Structure 1
């Protein structure tokens, strides 16, 4: 199981691995794949074959891929971030949080012995935040503000937020 930052990286690595022998099956795993393709990636390898799964962070939690004994972690992911200046959301490649690194390593050896190879140093990992930034702090809030208005919330500052969005983000969301 290799954790890669996005679909483009997965397709690039998949192309580079296309020369492997027939007894090695290379399967991509990311959110936009069909249910059938996702099931193929998480199902056990056929008898006598090895499977290489190339995944985004979709494979970090809530699924077990049988037979995974090795995890290769790039330490990267792509995160959607809303830019207040231009009003657009863009995908940004960033280093993962420490909790994500722990989750990724935990994919190896869920059922049998396994190892994790990280393509970054321990000191690089320690420089990262413990947990990822909450999504509400880097998302477009326009649809949330509209939904709240629909339900009768007139002053969004009165809400009890777990993580308080910036005043600028809330103001821009109101204007949209």
Structure 2
């Protein structure tokens, strides 16, 4: 689907204004003084002396003419406006669907990030435990000379640090 174009919106507004103008003017003209020349409407009021039909008949004819013009103009403009509104509604629905897809992707990524953060927390806890064990092993080694326990603890701490570094690098 396409996007809503600024020109389409301006055109819709212009058509609505024309329709409103024509509708309102169909009731306000006919007094013999106003001459609508906007929007391509050409009409000239011909002042005449009262005749056997009188000014009332001429006024009624002018009002009917304007009413017919307004109905024709409104019908044409309303059709154009309706088509533009339908096009914009389809475009809006398309973008609503796109936004829905993006919300789904965001939820998926948020879930993956939460899982990764939980894994990092586990690795940090393992590293803390290995560092504590290393500290106590070093203390024991210092006090008792137990080098095997120290080497095993150092290896465990090194493994935990490496796993944490890999996990953080992947993030």
TM-score interval (norm. to shorter): under 0.3
TM-score of the pair, normalised by structure 2: 0.23
TM-score of the pair, normalised by structure 1: 0.22
Q: Which has the higher contact order (CA 8 A, sep 6+)?
A: 2
